[in-house]
Chains A and B, each alone.
Chain A
Amino acid sequence: MNQVEPWVVLSFSSIIFMIGFTGILIRKNILVILMCIELMLNAVNLTFVTYSTLLQDMAGQMSVFFIITVAAAESAVGLALVIAMFRTLRSVSTEEIQLLRE
C-alpha cells in the first residue's frame, strides 16, 4: 500500500489549523467560533498521529485519545454556555457580548 508522504499530511493539518484560527479571529458568531476550535483541535490530532507513525512512538496516539475526550467535553460545555447566553442575552454575537469591558 502506498504510503502518503508525511509532508503532505503535515501541510494539510497546518492549513486546517490556520483555517480554524482565522475563523476565530474574524467570525462573530460564537457557534462558529466553537466549530473553529474543533477544527484546530482535529488539526493538532492529525499532526500527533502523523508524528506517531513517523517516529514509531505510541505516546502521540495516546495524546490523541486525550484530546478527543477533552474536545467532546469542551464542546458539550461550550454549547451549553452558548444556549444559556442566548437565553439571557438574546444574541450569540461577540460584537454584542463584551461584558468584561465594563
Chain B
Amino acid sequence: MLALIALLPLIGFAINGLWYVAVQAPPGGKKAGATVSGVIATTAIGGSFVLSLLVFLRLKGMPAEARVIEQVVFDWMTIGDFNLEMVFRADPLSSIFTLFITGVATLIHLYSIGYMGHDATPGKFFAYLNLFSFSMLMLVLGGSLPILFLGWEGVGLCSYLLIGYWYADMDKASAGKKAFIVNRIGDFGFLLGMFMIYDKFGTLDLLALRDTVLQSSSAGLLLAADLTAITTICILLFVGCMGKSAQIPLYVWLPDAMAGPTPVSALIHAATMVTSGIYLVARLNFMYSLSPTALTVVAVVGVVTAFFAATIALVQRDIKKVLAYSTVSQLGYMFLGCGVGAYSAGVSHVITHAFFKALLFLGAGSVIHGMHEEQDIMKMGGLKSKMKWTYLTFAAGWLAIAGIPPFSGFFSKDEILWRSFSAEHGSFLFWLLGAVTAVMTAFYMTRLFSLTFLGSPRFKEQGEHHGHSTHPDGHHEHGHGGAVHESPMTMVFPLQVLAVLSVIGGFMAIPHMSWLDHWLEPVIPVDHGVAAGVAPAMEWVLMALSVAGAAAGIFFAFKLYADLAKVEKLKQRWAGVHKLLENKWYVDELYEALFVRPIYTLSVALWKGFDTAVIDRVVLGFGRVSEWSGQTVRVVQTGSIHLYAFVLLIGIIATAGYLLYGLA
C-alpha cells in the first residue's frame, strides 16, 4: 500500500507521458485537451491521497511507539556488505507530509485543468506534474537516505522541467537552468553529508541510523571527535537544504522559478518541494539536537533569510515575485523554528504554509488568468467586484500569512517566534528579527492585497491593455476578449478548499495543546523546555506584541496604499533604499560578478586556449598527416599489373637471395 502511494502518480506519469510522446508530440499528431490529461493525472494523485489517508488512519490505530509501517519493494543493490533496499516507511512525520502533499497536489492538479486549458501541450505538463508528485512522495516516504536522495533529485529535475516549461522563451529556459544548477550546489553538500554518515555510522537506513545515534549518545559513547563529525554532517546536509529550500546564500533560484506556470509555483515552489529541506532537518532531528553549532547555523541562516527576503518583498511589483520572496521568508521562519530545536513548530508551519501559500499562489494565478497574463500589481486594482471568489479566498490566505488570529498562520508562526525566544537555543535577537519580519510580512501582503483587489482599477477594460509581446506568463492563445473575468469552477473550487484549510489549519497546532506535537512525538521528542530566566507569562506578552505588530503592518499598508500619490512621494524620499530593495540587494549582480563571470571567463579561456588551440589542433593534425601521407604514397599505385608483377619479382629474388646467402 505504501509503495502504491508513490506508484500511482508514476503510473499517471507513464500514461500521460507515453501518450504524449507516442501520439501527441509527433508532427501531425492529435493534440489532447487539458481535460483528458488532467483528469488522468488528477485521478492518479487523488488515489494517492485516499491511500495516504488510509495509511494515516492505520497509523492512528496503532499504539504511539509502534507507529511505523514499512514496505521493502525490492533489493536495489548489494555491494560487499553494503545492501540497499528500496524501502518505504511511513511514520507520523512522513504520513503527515504525504497527507498534505497529496491533498494540496490533488487540488493543484484540479486547478491546472482550468489554468492550462489554453496550453498547447497539456499532456506534457500533467506528465511532469505527476512525476513531480511521485518524486516528492518518494522523498518523504523513503526509508533510507539514498531513497530520499532519489526523490530529492527527482523533485529538482521536475522543478527544472516545469520552470522551463515554456522553453521557447529564453528567459524561462535559463531560469530553469539556474534553479537546477543552484540546487546541484546544494546537493553536493547533501551527498557529502550522506557519505560521512555511512563512514561514521555504517548505515544509511534512517531508522537504524536513529537507533545507532540515540543509543550511543545515551550510553555516552560519543566522543568529542564524533560530535565534531556530527556537526559537520549536519552542516553539510543543511547545505543541501539551503539549495532545495531556498535559504541564503542559495535562495536566488526561487524568485526566478516564478517563470514556470503558476500552478507549478504553487505546488513546487511554495507548498511542497521547497519544504523538503525542513523535512530533512526534522527527520534528522536526533542528529541536529546533538550539535548546538549546527542548530545555531540553521537558526541564523533561517532568521536572516526570513528578514532579508521580507525586505525585498516590500517593493516588488510582480505579484508572483512578491509571493516568491514571501515564500523564501516563510521558509526562513521554518528553519528558525528547527534551529532553536522546535522541530514540530517548524513542521506545523510547513503545513499551514502549504495551505495558505498554495492558496495565495493559486489566487494569484486566478488573477493572472482573469487579467489575461498581467502580473504587475500596479496595473491591477479593484478586482474585488470582478472576481468575487478569488477575492474572498485570497483574503483568507492574506490574513493567514499575516498572522491574524485565529487564521492558521498565526498559530504556527507565533509558536516559532515564542520558541525562538524561549527555547534553550533561542535568543532575544532571533525573536526581534522574526517579529520585525512578521510586521513586514503583514505590510507587504496587505500592499499586495490592496493594490490587487481594492481601490479603483488601474487598467483599461477591454482592448489591448496588455501588449502581446510582454506576455509574462506563457500561453498566447486566449480566444476570448479583454474583459476581466472570474476563473472557471475547476480553479475556484481548489481555492475554496484551500481557503477553508487556511482558516482552520492552525487548530491542529494550538500551543500547549498541540495535536500535531503529540502526533509527531514518536519521531520528534516534545521539548517545551523554557530556558532559564524566561518567565512563562512572557509568552502572552510576546503573542500580543506580534499580533499588534501584524495589525500595525496591515493598518499602515492600508493607509499608505489607499493613496498612491503619497506612495510615490515616499518612494522619492527614500529613492536609494527603494532602488536597493527593488534590485534585490543586488545579490544576483554580486553572484554574477563573483561566480558566474569568472567561471564564464575561465570557460571561454579554456575553450579558446585549450580546446580549440590544442585538442582541435592535435585531432586535425592526425587528419592532415594521413591525408598528406596518402597523397605522397598514391604515386606508387599506378594501376599497371605489369609493374606490380615486376616489383613482385624483385621482391621474390631479394627474399630468395636473403634466405640463401644472408645479408652478406
Contact = CB atoms under 8 A, between A and B. Distances in A.
A34 to B, nearest CB: 12
A101 interface: yes
A33 B646 CA distance: 14
A26 interface: yes
Interface in A83-102: 94, 98-102
Interface string B310-341: 00000000000000000000000000000000
Contact of B639 (A21, A25, A33, A101): A101
B645 interface: yes
B649 interface: yes
A24 interface: yes
A102 B645 CA distance: 19
Contacts of B637: 100-101
Contacts of A25: 642, 645-646, 649
B645 A101 contact: no
A94 B639 CA distance: 9
Nearest to A28: B642
B601 interface: no
Contacts of B218: none
A24 B638 CA distance: 16
A24 B642 contact: yes
Contacts of B640: 94, 98
Q: Is the interface of A mostly helix, strand, loop or mixed?
A: helix
A61 to B, nearest CB: 25
B31 to A, nearest CB: 55
A88 B161 CA distance: 62
Contacts of B638: 98, 101
Interface string B511-522: 000000000000
A97 to B, nearest CB: 8
A21 B649 contact: yes
B641 interface: yes
Interface string A23-40: 011100000010000000
Interface in A1-36: 21, 24-26, 33
Contact of A94 (B641, B646, B649): B641
A94 to B, nearest CB: 6
A33 B640 CA distance: 13
A21 B637 CA distance: 21
B645 A24 contact: yes
Q: Chain B interface residue count: which class?
A: under 10
Nearest to A26: B642
A71 B645 CA distance: 19
Interface residues of A, number: 11
A98 B641 CA distance: 8
Nearest to A98: B639
Most buried by A among B637, B640, B645, B649: B640
Nearest to A30: B641
Nearest to B635: A101
A91 to B, nearest CB: 14
A102 B646 CA distance: 21
Contacts of A99: 639
A50 B586 CA distance: 103
Most buried by A among B637, B638, B642, B649: B642
A25 B641 CA distance: 8
Contacts of A94: 640-642
Contacts of B649: 21, 25
Nearest to B645: A24
Contacts of A33: 641
Interface in B607-647: 637-642, 645-646
A24 B645 CA distance: 8
A35 to B, nearest CB: 15
B630 to A, nearest CB: 13
A60 B641 CA distance: 31
Contacts of B642: 24-26, 94
A68 B637 CA distance: 32
A94 B638 CA distance: 12
A99 B640 CA distance: 9
B655 to A, nearest CB: 16
A27 to B, nearest CB: 9
B390 to A, nearest CB: 79
Nearest to A21: B649
Nearest to A24: B645
A62 to B, nearest CB: 24
Nearest to A97: B639
A99 to B, nearest CB: 7
Interface in A44-102: 94, 98-102
A94 B642 CA distance: 8
B645 to A, nearest CB: 5
Nearest to B642: A25
Nearest to A99: B639
Contacts of A100: 637, 639
A88 to B, nearest CB: 17
Contacts of A26: 642
20 contacts: A21-B645, A21-B649, A24-B642, A24-B645, A25-B642, A25-B645, A25-B646, A25-B649, A33-B641, A94-B640, A94-B641, A94-B642, A98-B638, A98-B639, A98-B640, A100-B637, A100-B639, A101-B637, A101-B638, A101-B639
Question: 8 smallest A-B Cβ distances: which pairs?
Answer: A98-B639, A101-B639, A100-B639, A24-B645, A25-B642, A94-B641, A25-B645, A25-B646
Given A25-B645, A94-B642, A98-B640, 14 more contacts: A21-B649, A24-B641, A24-B645, A25-B642, A25-B646, A26-B642, A94-B640, A98-B638, A98-B639, A99-B639, A100-B637, A101-B637, A101-B639, A102-B639
